[in-house]
A and B are shown apart, each in its own frame.
Chain A
Amino acid sequence: EPEVTQTPSHQVTQMGQEVILRCVPISNHLYFYWYRQILGQKVEFLVSFYNNEISEKSEIFDDQFSVERPDGSNFTLKIRSTKLEDSAMYFCASSEPGQGFEQYFGPGTRLTVT
């Protein structure tokens, strides 16, 4: 069964450093998403991406964040200058085009900012 994959599974970085989290969505999906879950809190939407552009973003997704689909398979989330409060589990998801399709989630990348 196709699945969303994410690398790395765990990333430790120092405050102020740039990180890139990588995702390979399911191959025939056209919508891509990033969510995050701070320990003990709800899963929160960050951004959705379709047709090579951001379709929606939350207030969390400020200028420090960016997304890119550099080739036909990868989807990346970049945090330019990490803060302690960026420590969280980051989930990538993808879905087929169309209104009723569910999102499929990857296993997540745990980001720890020290």
Chain B
Amino acid sequence: AQSVAQPEDQVNVAEGNPLTVKCTYSVSGNPYLFWYVQYPNRGLQFLLKYITGDNLVKGSYGFEAEFNKSQTSFHLKKPSALVSDSALYFCAVRRFPNDYKLSFGAGTTVTVRA
């Protein structure tokens, strides 16, 4: 079984401040980890992924995430948030190698105030 926890329903930050969205996972075996973002009335847009290699991965729109195996975490970060980053963020995990299904967290709503 695999699962993802996003402990914060909402994150509020001021524009220009650092943004962190937390994610922890549980999976038997090695994980593939993903972050997606959803804007109102839109589908889920891929932001970044961790497959193997460097624990710090960089993605779209200036986002990055750090894989921490000992803490089973994959937190999403952005050094300087923009108002346009306000959206719903989902963390997801897949079990390597043969599972293709994604298990999603409940999502975190990010609000960036001007």
Chain A residues within 8 Å of B, Cβ to Cβ: 4, 6, 31, 33, 35, 41-45, 48, 50, 55-56, 58, 91, 95, 99-100, 102-108
A105 to nearest B CB, angstroms?
A: 4
CA distance A102 to B45 in the complex (A): 10
Which of chain B's residues have a CB closer than 8 A to the CB of A31?
100
Q: Let me know if B43 and A45 touch, CB within 8 A.
A: no
Q: Let me know if A45 and B42 touch, CB within 8 A.
A: no
CA distance A45 to B96 in the complex (A): 16
Q: Let me know if B43 and A106 touch, CB within 8 A.
A: yes
A107 to nearest B CB, angstroms?
A: 4
Interface residues on B, range: 20 to 34
Q: Let me know if B34 and A102 touch, CB within 8 A.
A: yes
Chain B residues within 8 Å of A, Cβ to Cβ: 32, 34, 36, 41-46, 49, 51-52, 90, 92, 96-97, 99-107
CA distance A107 to B41 in the complex (A): 7
The listed residue (B52, B101, B106) touching A45 by CB distance below 8 A is: B101
B96 to nearest A CB, angstroms?
A: 7
Which of chain B's residues have a CB closer than 8 A to the CB of A95?
100
Which of chain A's residues have a CB closer than 8 A to the CB of B52?
100
CA distance A56 to B22 in the complex (A): 29
B52 to nearest A CB, angstroms?
A: 8
Q: Which residue of chain B has the shortest Cβ distance to A89 in the bound complex?
A: B43
Which of chain A's residues have a CB closer than 8 A to the CB of B36?
105
Scoring A33, A42, A50, A108 by chain B CB atoms within 10 A of each residue's CB, the highest score goes to A42
The listed residue (A33, A100, A104) touching B51 by CB distance below 8 A is: A100
Which of chain B's residues have a CB closer than 8 A to the CB of A108?
43
